[in-house]
Amino acid sequence: MSVINNMLKNIEQRETKQLNIENGITVKPVYDIRNIAFKVIVVVIMLLVIYAAYVFLPASTETHSPVVKQTKNISTKPDALVEKQSLEKPIAYPAINDEQLSSIPTENQGKVKTKQVPVEQLTVESEVKAQPVIAKGLAKKAENDVLVKAPNVKDTQNVSNDIIKPTKKAQQKNVMVKSEAVVKSDQVKRAELLTGAKQAIQFGLYDEAISDLNLILIQSPLHIEARNLLAGTYFKQQDINSAQLVLQEGIALNANVLEWRIMLSKILIMQGEYDVVLQLLSAEFESQANLDFWVLQGTAAQSASQHKQALNSFKHLTQLQPSQAKWWLALATSKDALGEYLDAKQLYKVALDLGGLNTAMTQHALQRLVALKEAV
């Protein structure tokens, strides 16, 4: 029933509003005065709280300044056995004339014009003078703190000393020391270039390697390893003429480098210049000879039909590598050419027994054995 009554009341109110609007009657809106008053009171309270915080907080921070704390702590030390000086009377200092003022740095002249110093700034200094030897360490630390925080102190000598010294230290700390560039020696530079050239050769960057090696040879023309690598790099690029020129230049500078002679001999054998090889690998270098030396010398001598020299070379090879059949075959060929058929026959058999010969070598050895049997 109450719901129905509410609905009827609402309908009546709507009808009365419509009638009033039709008759030209305006109805004033109704405002909630309590809600408005509550909001106003809240705003006023917030403003009062902000104002109180703004007024009272700075005063509380000033009362607890670090200077006052230091003076209280120093005055309450049990080790201080001397009576405190009164802090009510300000301490007067002599006035400073123009001559003394001119001797003070310009940065501190504006700080030394007043004749008296506030009591708060000199409390620690006055108490320090009255302390015995026991409290000197603590008093000195407190005095330095006060001098830093009180820029209006009149004692020109103390102020100037205390201010100038820290600035000098600060200047010394802030000075930038230029580190001298490390000067590399020519030997170190050549070693770095050589390492870079070797790495470039490993990755197939032959042009870069050639450039680095040429720089090394410009600085040190007698650098053996650099010249060997340069000639070998040219050889890999099929630039035989450049490799030959590099090695010939090296031999012209130092004829005793056997490595350059061996590399040049390999090129000359490819060109069929056997007599030149035998001149490069002459008997005077046999004391330094290695495997390549004997191979090149024996090959050139046998190709030039100088079989006696070839026998000497291949005998050394059979001693160095006795299991290699090709050296026994080469030795048998030179014996056969000199007419020593019995020795040649035995050497052909040794080469065939060891094996490892290619088809052409095997056929040559068999043919010569058949021919020697008939001849013998």
Q: How far apart are CA 234 and CA 219, in angstroms?
A: 20
Predicted confidence at residue 66, as pLDDT, reads 47
Q: What is the DSSP letter of 112?
A: S
Q: Give the mean pLDDT of 173-181.
A: 53
Give yes or no for residue 13 having a pLDDT over 50: yes
Q: Say how many Å lie between the first and final Cα of the chain, rounded.
A: 153
- Per the CB < 8 A criterion, the answer to whether 299 and 270 are in contact is no
How many C-beta atoms surround the C-beta of residue 200 within 10 A? 19
Q: What angle do CA 305, 271, 329 make, to 5 degrees?
A: 40
User: CA–CA distance from 334 to each of 177, 299, 302, 355, 376 (Å)?
Assistant: 77, 11, 7, 19, 17
Q: Give the mean pLDDT of 305-321.
A: 95
Q: What is the DSSP letter of 88?
A: S
User: Is 185-255 a CATH 1.25.40.10 domain?
Assistant: yes
Q: How far apart are CA 224 and CA 230, in angstroms?
A: 10
Tens digit of pLDDT for each residue in 112-143?
444 444 444 444 444 444 444 444 555 555 55
Q: Give the mean pLDDT of 343-355.
A: 94
Characterise 23 by phi-psi region: left (phi > 0), alpha (psi -120 to 50), beta (else).
Answer: alpha
- Per the CB < 8 A criterion, the answer to whether 240 and 246 are in contact is no
Give yes or no for residue 255 having a pLDDT over 60: yes
Predicted TM-score (pTM) of the model is 0.52
- Name the residue with higher pLDDT: 205 or 85: 205
Query: Taking Cα atoms as reference points, which of 328, 329, 324, 330 lies closest to residue 309?
Result: 330
How many C-beta atoms surround the C-beta of residue 354 within 10 A? 16
Tens digit of pLDDT for each residue in 44-62?
998 988 888 888 876 555 5
Q: How far apart are CA 9 and CA 83, in angstroms?
A: 93
- Name the residue with higher pLDDT: 328 or 85: 328
- Per the CB < 8 A criterion, the answer to whether 263 and 231 are in contact is yes
Q: Give the mean pLDDT of 255-264.
A: 95
Q: Which two tokens stand for residue 68?
A: 């006052």
Domain boundaries, the chain: 185-255, 256-310, 322-375
